[in-house]
Amino acid sequence: MKKTTFFLSFLIAQIVVFAQNKQVSVTTELKRLYDIQELPRYIPDTHEWEKSSYDTTGGNDDGFSGRYSFVRRNPDSTLVIFEAKGKGVINRIWMPTHVDDTLDFYFDGKDKPGLTIKFYDLFSGKVFPFVHPLCGNQLGGYFCYVPIPFNNGCKIVIRAKRLQFYQVQCRSYPDDYAVKTFNPKFSADEIAELVGTTSLWNKATKTADDFFGGAKQVADLNMTIKPGQTTPPVKFSNWWSYSWYGDKPGQRL
């Protein structure tokens, strides 16, 4: 009887953990920006993809003329620059140059945008929740890493007749995931996660303790792996760790 009770308790616990792993929200996606345990973790049945201004014919007109810089043109000449079906999360938006136009984000098939924001406000790092250092402008252009999840489709429209260079990266989830659609009015939990993430990113000096609060074991090895050669990982007392090095002595990837 005790064995049966233990097995059922274990099974229920595993089901709860499995269900929790299929919850997607601003909070869970922000955690991926600092939790080192999430970095190597494979997300089953998901698909990473990007919509950008690249030349789909294989030529070199990657945004220069604007011919490939949109999905389609609306009757009012505004441009749909991103469109996704089903569940997903936008995890990066990049543009190299400043424009004075407005972006409308339509979520879950609705006719009215769930987020309307000026280009500058999305990337300035000063307008909540698109704050520094998750959003900003550096030598490589304007960037935004604030996650924008959606449960049933997303469309981005720019109120402009022409756009050149841009990238929107997205992760699509299967139907059995529960995704909480983005709302610019963050909950208390979302605010706390955003503040924690930005505080960590802003730290001048970071240590392993900032990214992982559990017990840690460290091994320092120096080895060369030749082409075709396999080498076993480093074995610790309670987990396995892989260290990868480049083709130059002392180069760590």
pLDDT 10s digits, 156-208 = 999 999 999 999 999 999 999 999 999 999 999 999 999 999 999 999 988 87
Residue 209: inside a domain:
no
Please report which helix (H) or strand (E) contains residue 37, including its range: none
CB 234 within 8 A of CB 221: yes
Q: Domain count of the chain?
A: 1
Residue 4 lies in a domain: no
**pLDDT tens, 20-73?**
579 999 999 999 998 888 877 888 899 999 999 999 999 999 999 999 999 999
Q: Is residue 172 part of a domain?
A: yes
User: Is 252 inside a domain boundary?
Assistant: no
CATH number at residue 184: 2.60.120.1390
In a domain, 212, yes or no: no
> Is the model more confident about 253 or about 157?
157
Report the C-alpha gap between 177 and 175 in whole angstroms.
Answer: 5
**pLDDT confidence of 111, banded at 50, 70, 90?**
very high
Q: Is residue 102 part of a domain?
A: yes
Structural domain span for residue 77 = 20-197
| DSSP code per residue over 156-189 | EEESSS-----EEEEEEE-TTSEEPPP-SS--HH
- Residue 222 in any domain: the answer is no
Separation of alpha carbons 21 and 230, rounded Å: 32
Closest residue by Cα to residue 70 from 156, 147, 142, 141: 156
Assess if residue 239 is contained within a domain. Answer: no
